[in-house]
A and B are shown apart, each in its own frame.
Chain A
Amino acid sequence: MTDLTKPSGQPGNGDLPATGTAAVGEVAAAGSPAPTAFLEVRDLHVHFPTDDGLVKSVDGLSFRLEKGKTLGIVGESGSGKSVTSLGIMGLHTAGQYGRRKARISGEIWLNGQELLGADPDEVRKLRGREMSMIFQDPLSALHPYYTIGRQIIEAYRVHNEVTKEVARKRAIELLDRVGIPQPDKRVDSYPHEFSGGMRQRAMIAMALVNNPELLIADEPTTALDVTVQAQILDLIRDLQKEFGSAVIVITHDLGVVAELADDLLVMYGGRCVERGPAEKVFYEPQHPYTWGLLGSMPRIDRDQTERLIPVKGSPPSLINVPSGCAFHPRCPYADVPKDNITRTERPELSAAGGGGHFSACHMSQEERTRIWTEEIAPKL
């Protein structure tokens, strides 16, 4: 149905080579038999009908992820990255009542089970147990009227038939694990009594209380101070090692995933424009949009006063996605390919540079390499 990249030599199994590129390899077409990968998303579409038209938040996204690995999904707001994660959790319709419900299609396989076609109550049982999520703003994501402990206990007891006391012990244990001092006291504190970093730690504790196999962190550090950001990222990494979960980190900030992710997926206008092993995407990016993202990323090794180079223009309308390459209106190289092709034809995701690295750009590999090495990289 959609553009499916060819296999590029990396088999999609759990036995991961040292390069760590296996997580993002080829994905089977929708309707194919159950995959062997831990998480596989096939041709995901999430559309929201609105008064102004159909908003295509996610429009044909595929990827896979193995246990113990971390995938970073990067993009601007409105690129569809958050909707993707909600779609996986089965929460894309949350808070929507009435006639206009979100429409979702494609397949999501988790541990051999397809979620989109499954009984919603089955999916609910998976939520919080098999897969759990950390949200970007822990202040608003925690219920302000209940204590931290109560919220963690509740998360534990939904899926485990235990007494409150047992659950409370478990909550304290986890609070301790995520580095909250005096957890036996803090367990009775309210969210507003915590600092931002502490709140996010508590949020993580809540997400991990049932030892989930998939952890989705949606902008986990955006709302936090820079110093706290690093601590939280360290924590996520440590915990992943300890629990062996698969992790998806969603962010608009490449810096966040730079050290955390094994693989990267760059989204633009509801689609994937580039994906591949993290170092490949970082050091040999193959899409002008990724270049833009790299350019706008603050770096510690750079003079802070230097002006960042943002991606010019604003994100595309998801109702009337620009024809051809969705990025063309903002792309400084839109006229490099011939025949106006960037405006008429949508570029497919294709292998770029090998090693599981894919990109959706009309420019040839040579042109891209040249521009990157000659024009972009020196400025970064």
Chain B
Amino acid sequence: MLAYLIRRLFAVVVMLLVVTLTTFAIFFVIPKWAGSDPALLFVGKQADPAAIEGIRQKLSLGDPVLVQFWHFVQGLFVGRDYASGTDVTHCPAPCFGYSFRTEQAVWPQLTDAMPVTLSLAAGACLLWLVGGITTGVVSALRRGTLWDRSAMTVALAGVSLPIYFTGLLSLAIFSYSLKWVNVDYKGLGDDPAMWFESLILPWITLAFLYAAMYARLTRATMLEIMGEDYIRTARAKGLRERAVIGRHAMRSTWTPVLTLLGLDLGALLGGAVLTETTYNLPGLGRLAVNAITEKDLPVILGVTLIAAVFIVIANLVVDLLYAVIDPRVRLG
């Protein structure tokens, strides 16, 4: 178990290094290769050579990429000092540096945006797991019936709808025309009722897509499991159908659902980017998109790293859950 955790942690560190390095490469190596000076991306309106040189020094763009990378990693773990003319600013660990555009520390921006994305993701995740699995199980058990066919048609439509389209459509209908819900985001701590109200549509929009996928997966899995030998054994024991499904079949559907969940967590940020853009939620996804258009590397690095950390942790949790659900899985 300990050896397993150490190995996993090592993999996590490698993963995060690769993500960081790739992001660095995208913003420093590619522009250079394409023949433009990264410093020019960050210089303001008056881009005389002196100002560009100033920027280059300030952002230590003169250093080799690997050195900059090393400073960044150092900052994450032990903090970092920035000379700012008059005095030295210490940026405590975890130091993600300062935004190139607003000169504000990145870490507080991330911690501000994180609860929004987590609220969105957690609520939607709960909604789609409950909705998707229930629909899938019921459909499998009523295979071929009108219920099954309508549920599966809706599910197929669900996986075929772009989030931003359903988002815009539901905004147009429920928020602007019917004025049922207000979508101006408030933090959970500030105004719980408003928090809930503003997230209803985003939750449903995001969850609808995933619920459809999970319903389809659960249905297929359930059908497969119901044909498994051990289900036949359970019946041969004389168990009631409810126990067969509830105790024997349901337990097994969790494994593929978890597998998919592990994969989806990687893609979830993508969904969050689109949902946050559509609903104007001040979360990590929107922060990232804005930072990308502004070429604000420290912020982009921060978001991608946070996202990667989140994904890696979620995957670790998924793997641990595997072991809880399936005794055959050995951590090691």
Contact = CB atoms under 8 A, between A and B. Distances in A.
Whether chain A touches chain B in the assembled complex (some CB pair under 8 Å): yes
A124 B228 CA distance: 19
A190 interface: yes
Interface in A96-146: 97-100, 124-129, 132-133, 135, 137, 140-146
Contact of A145 (B142, B229, B237, B251): B251
Contacts of B240: 124, 158
Interface stretch (A25-33, A87-95, A357-365): A87-95
A135 B142 contact: no
A135 B232 contact: yes
Contact of A143 (B223, B238, B248, B325): B248
A95 B248 CA distance: 13
B178 interface: no
B83 to A, nearest CB: 59
Contacts of B325: 145
Contacts of A144: 230, 252, 326-328
A154 interface: yes
A94 B144 contact: no
B327 A206 contact: no
B236 A91 contact: yes
B327 A124 contact: no
Size bracket of the B interface? 20 to 34
A135 B233 contact: yes
Contacts of B145: 98
B256 to A, nearest CB: 13
Interface string B131-172: 000000000111111001000000000000000000000000
B235 interface: yes
Given A144-B328, A190-B328, A97 B143 contact: yes
Contacts of A190: 327-328
Nearest to B247: A154
B200 interface: no
Contact of A158 (B144, B233, B237): B237
A154 B243 CA distance: 10
Contact of B237 (A86, A94, A97, A128): A128
A95 B232 contact: yes
Contacts of A133: 233, 236
A155 interface: yes
B144 to A, nearest CB: 3
Interface string B217-246: 000000100111111111111111001000
A126 B237 CA distance: 9
A192 interface: yes
Contact of A140 (B141, B230, B237): B230
A282 B4 CA distance: 57
A91 B239 contact: no
A6 interface: no
A159 interface: yes
B263 to A, nearest CB: 22
Contact of B235 (A91, A125, A151, A159): A91
A192 B329 CA distance: 10
Nearest to A93: B235
A125 B226 contact: no
Given A95-B231, A140-B228, A140-B230, A206 B328 contact: no
A147 to B, nearest CB: 8
A258 to B, nearest CB: 26
Interface of A: 86, 89, 91, 94-95, 97-100, 124-129, 132-133, 135, 137, 140-147, 151, 154-155, 158-159, 190, 192, 203, 206
15 contacts: A95-B231, A97-B141, A97-B143, A98-B142, A99-B144, A133-B236, A141-B230, A144-B230, A144-B328, A145-B251, A145-B326, A146-B251, A154-B237, A154-B247, A190-B328
Given A98-B148, A124-B240, A127-B238, 10 more contacts: A97-B142, A124-B239, A127-B235, A128-B239, A135-B233, A141-B229, A143-B248, A145-B326, A145-B327, A158-B239
